[in-house]
C-alpha cells in the first residue's frame, strides 16, 4: 500500500497493525479502503459490528432462546409449510404400494396384483420436480423484490387451489398435472423457509432452526404413512381422495402465522431500509435483554452487506458463478444433491421395497410408520449431536455408514429365494440407513445451505442448489422405480449395489471439498472464502473480519498507543 493510501487509512481512524499470523486471516487492504468510503461513521459502525459478533459468539443455547423466542416461534411456523411437501412426496411414493390407488391408476401385473407402471411412477414424481424447479426460479426473483412474507403468502394461497386438481383427479394424467401445479408453491417453500430461519436467528440457533425444516419434512412423511395405514381397510375412491384432502388442513394456520411474522432484517438491510430492519429485529427479540444492543446487530448486518457488495459484482444468478462465489455455489449444490445420491430414494422407500420382498400391505406400512418415527427421532438427535460435531464430520461419517448399509443390503439380496430372516435383516438395515440419514445428511444439509452462501446471494444460491437437488431427483426417479418394480428390473435387495457407488462418490467429494462452517458468523465466512482457505483448514483458522493484513480499525487502546 502506498503512502497516500496509508495516510487515508490513518485519517479514517485505522492504524498500522502487526502482520497476521499463518493461522489467521483478515480482509484485503483494498477492500478495507473501499468499505471506509461507503460506510458513514466508519469507525463507530465497525466497532458496533465487532461487539455484535463477539456477543453472538458468547451466546449459549438457552440465552439465545431467551433473547430470540419470537424468532424461534415464527421460524417454526413458516417451516410447517415443509410438512405439506414431505406429506405429499411420501404419499405419492407410498401410493404405489397402496391397493386402492394401484387398482385405480395401475395395470394388472403377471403376478395378479395391480401395479402403477414404472414409467408412470417416474412420470408422476418427475412432474413434481418440474413444478418445483419452475417454482424455485420464480420464487427467488419475487422474494428478492418483495421479501419473504409476501412470497410465502402467495405460494400458500396458490397451493390451496392446486390441491383441487389432485383431489378431483379422474385419471393418471390429471394426477400428473396436479403434481406439476403443486410443485410450484412447494418449490418456494423449499428455500424460503430455510433462508428465513437462517436470517432471523443468531449463529448458535441457526443449526436448530434450519434442521427443523428436515424435521417438518420427516413429520409430513410420517403423517402420510400413518394416514394410509389407517385407511387400508377403506375401499373405493375415498381411500385415496381423503389423503389428498388432508393437505387442505395446513395452509390456513400457516397463512395466519405468516401475516404476523416480521420481515427478515437481513433482507431489509440489503434493500437499504435500515430503520425497518431495526423494527423487525426488535419484534424478533426480547426487550431490554442484558448486554444485547440492537444497534450493534444492525451495524454487523450493514458492514457485512457492504463488504459483500464491494467484493462482488451483483446479486444475479450469474454472480453465483463468478469469483469466490463459484466455490460457495459448488458446495451448496453438491451437499443438496448428496441428499439424493446417497441412496435415500432406495433406502427410504421401505414400504414398496418390503412388499416386493414378501411382506403384506399391513406389515410393510407398519414397518414404514416405524421407520418414519425412527427418522423423526434421528432428526431430533441431530440437534444434540451438532453441538459436539461439525457439519463436515457428520456428513462424512453418515455417508460412510450409509455406503456400508447399501453394500450389506446388496449382498443379502443375492440369494434368488429370500427367506423371512433375510427379509427382516434387509428391513433392519433399511432402518439403520434411514436413521443415519436423518441424524446426519438429512438435517445437516439445511444447515449448510443457510451458512455457506453470502448473505446477498443466499436466496439465489439456495434456489440453484435446490434445483440441482430436483435434477438429481429426476435422475433418481428414472433409476429407482425399475430397481424395485416387478414389471421392470425387479432387483429388490441387489439394488443396493446400484446406489452404493453414488454414495461412495459423495463421500470422496466431502472429504476434499466440504468445509466446516460451525460457529462462524457471516462476515467470518466471507473472509475464509475470500482468502481461499482449503476445506480441511476451515475449522482451524482464526478469523478477524474487521482488519486487514496491515491495518486494524482504531480502538481506544490503539489511539492511546
pLDDT digits (tens, 9 = 90+) for 235-246: 778 888 888 888
Give domain status of residue 346, yes or no. yes
Which value, in Å, is the radius of gyration of the alpha carbons in the chain? 25
Give domain status of residue 96, yes or no. yes
Q: Would you give the distance in Å from CA 462 to the centre of its chain?
A: 8
What is the pLDDT at residue 258? 92
Residue ranges making up the domain that contains 77: 62-267+314-513
Q: Which residue has the cell 451495524?
A: 299
Give domain status of residue 509, yes or no. yes
List beta partners, residue 547.
Answer: 552
Grouping H, G, I as helix, E, B as strand and the rest as coil, residue 293 is coil
Pairwise CA distance, residues 495 & 122, whole Å: 17
Is residue 68 within 8 A of residue 200, CB to CB? The reply is yes
Give domain status of residue 519, yes or no. no
Give domain status of residue 438, yes or no. yes
What is the pLDDT at residue 418? 59
Give domain status of residue 209, yes or no. yes
Q: What is the pTM of this model?
A: 0.79
Taking CA atoms, 297 is separated from 119, 149, 201, in Å, by 53, 22, 11
Give domain status of residue 440, yes or no. yes
Q: Which residue has the cell 427367506?
A: 419
What is the pLDDT at residue 559? 35
Pairwise CA distance, residues 89 & 115, whole Å: 18
Pairwise CA distance, residues 52 & 300, whole Å: 6
Is residue 189 within 8 A of residue 154, CB to CB? The reply is no
Q: Would you give the distance in Å from CA 328 to the centre of its chain?
A: 15
- Residue 401 neighbours by CB under 8 Å, 6+ apart: 432, 436, 440
| Each residue's pLDDT tens digit, 14-53 | 555 566 666 777 777 777 778 888 888 888 888 899 899 8
For residues 190, 196, 201, 206, the Cα torsion angle rounded to the nearest 10 degrees is: 20
List beta partners, residue 114.
Answer: 108
Give domain status of residue 433, yes or no. yes
What CATH number corresponds to the domain at position 130? 1.20.1250.20
Pairwise CA distance, residues 432 & 447, whole Å: 22
What is the pLDDT at residue 416? 63
What is the pLDDT at residue 28? 76
**pLDDT block averages, 10 residues each, the chain of length 561:** 49 56 72 80 86 89 92 91 81 76 78 76 82 86 89 93 89 88 87 88 89 85 82 80 87 91 93 93 89 90 87 76 90 95 82 71 77 84 87 95 92 71 78 90 90 87 89 84 73 84 96 91 87 86 77 48 29
Number of domains in the chain: 1
DSSP 192: H
Q: Where are the beta strands (DSSP E) in 421-528?
A: none
Amino acid at each position: 500500500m502506498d503512502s497516500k493510501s496509508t495516510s487515508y487509512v490513518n485519517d479514517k481512524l485505522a492504524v498500522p497493525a502487526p502482520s497476521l499470523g499463518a493461522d489467521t486471516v483478515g480482509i484485503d487492504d483494498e477492500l478495507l479502503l473501499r468499505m471506509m468510503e461507503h460506510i458513514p461513521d466508519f469507525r463507530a459502525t465497525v466497532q458496533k459490528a465487532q461487539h455484535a459478533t463477539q456477543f453472538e459468539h458468547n451466546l449459549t443455547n438457552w440465552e439465545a432462546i431467551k433473547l430470540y423466542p419470537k424468532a424461534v416461534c415464527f421460524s417454526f411456523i413458516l417451516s410447517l409449510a415443509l410438512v405439506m411437501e414431505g406429506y405429499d412426496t411420501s404419499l405419492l411414493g407410498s401410493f404405489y404400494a397402496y391397493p386402492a390407488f394401484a387398482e385405480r391408476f395401475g395395470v394388472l401385473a403377471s403376478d395378479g396384483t395391480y401395479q402403477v407402471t414404472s414409467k408412470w411412477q417416474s412420470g408422476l414424481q418427475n412432474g413434481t420436480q418440474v413444478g418445483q424447479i419452475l417454482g424455485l426460479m420464480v420464487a427467488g426473483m419475487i422474494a428478492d423484490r418483495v421479501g419473504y412474507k409476501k412470497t410465502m403468502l402467495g405460494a400458500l394461497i396458490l397451493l390451496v387451489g392446486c390441491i383441487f386438481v389432485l383431489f378431483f383427479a379422474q385419471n393418471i394424467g390429471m394426477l400428473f398435472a396436479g403434481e406439476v401445479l403443486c410443485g410450484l408453491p412447494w418449490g418456494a417453500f423449499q428455500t424460503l423457509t430455510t433462508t428465513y430461519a437462517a436470517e432471523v436467528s443468531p449463529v448458535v440457533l441457526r443449526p436448530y432452526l434450519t434442521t427443523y425444516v428436515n424435521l417438518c419434512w420427516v413429520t409430513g412423511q410420517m403423517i402420510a404413512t400413518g394416514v394410509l395405514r389407517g385407511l387400508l381397510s377403506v375401499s373405493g375412491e375415498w381411500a385415496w381422495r381423503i389423503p389428498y384432502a388432508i393437505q387442505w388442513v395446513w395452509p390456513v394456520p400457516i397463512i395466519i402465522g405468516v401475516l404476523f411474522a416480521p420481515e427478515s432484517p437481513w433482507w431489509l438491510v440489503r434493500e437499504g431500509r435500515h430503520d425497518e430492519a431495526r423494527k423487525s429485529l426488535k419484534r424478533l427479540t426480547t426487550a431490554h435483554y442484558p448486554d444485547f444492543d440492537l444497534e450493534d446487530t444492525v451495524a454487523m448486518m450493514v458492514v457485512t452487506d457492504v463488504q459483500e457488495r464491494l467484493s462482488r459484482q451483483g446479486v444475479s444468478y450469474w454472480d453465483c458463478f463468478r469469483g469466490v462465489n463459484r466455490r460457495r455455489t459448488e458446495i451448496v449444490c453438491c451437499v443438496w444433491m448428496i441428499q439424493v445420491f446417497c441412496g435415500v430414494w432406495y433406502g427410504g422407500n421401505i414400504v414398496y421395497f418390503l412388499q416386493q420382498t414378501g411382506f403384506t400391505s399391513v406389515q410393510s406400512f407398519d414397518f414404514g410408520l416405524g421407520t418414519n418415527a425412527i427418522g423423526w427421532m434421528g432428526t431430533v438427535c441431530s440437534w444434540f449431536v451438532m453441538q459436539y460435531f461439525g457439519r463436515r464430520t457428520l456428513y462424512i461419517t453418515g455417508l460412510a455408514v450409509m455406503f456400508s448399509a447399501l453394500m450389506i443390503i446388496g449382498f443379502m439380496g443375492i440369494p434368488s429365494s429370500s427367506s423371512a430372516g433375510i427379509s427382516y435383516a434387509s428391513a433392519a438395515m433399511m432402518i439403520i440407513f434411514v436413521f443415519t440419514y436423518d441424524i446426519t445428511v438429512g438435517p445437516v444439509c439445511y444447515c449448510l445451505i443457510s451458512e455457506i452462501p453470502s448473505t446477498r446471494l443466499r436466496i439465489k444460491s439456495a434456489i440453484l442448489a435446490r434445483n440441482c437437488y430436483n435434477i438429481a431427483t429426476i435422475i433418481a426417479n428414472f433409476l429407482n422405480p425399475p430397481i424395485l418394480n416387478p414389471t421392470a428390473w425387479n432387483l429388490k435387495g441387489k439394488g443396493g449395489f446400484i446406489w452404493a457407488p453414488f454414495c461412495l462418490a459423495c463421500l470422496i467429494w466431502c472429504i476434499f471439498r466440504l468445509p466446516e462452517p460451525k460457529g462462524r458468523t457471516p462476515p467470518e465466512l466471507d473472509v475464509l472464502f475470500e482468502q481461499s482457505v482449503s476445506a480441511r483448514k476451515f475449522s482451524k483458522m482464526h478469523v478477524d473480519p474487521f482488519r486487514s493484513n496491515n491495518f486494524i480499525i482504531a480502538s481506544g487502546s490503539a489511539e492511546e498507543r
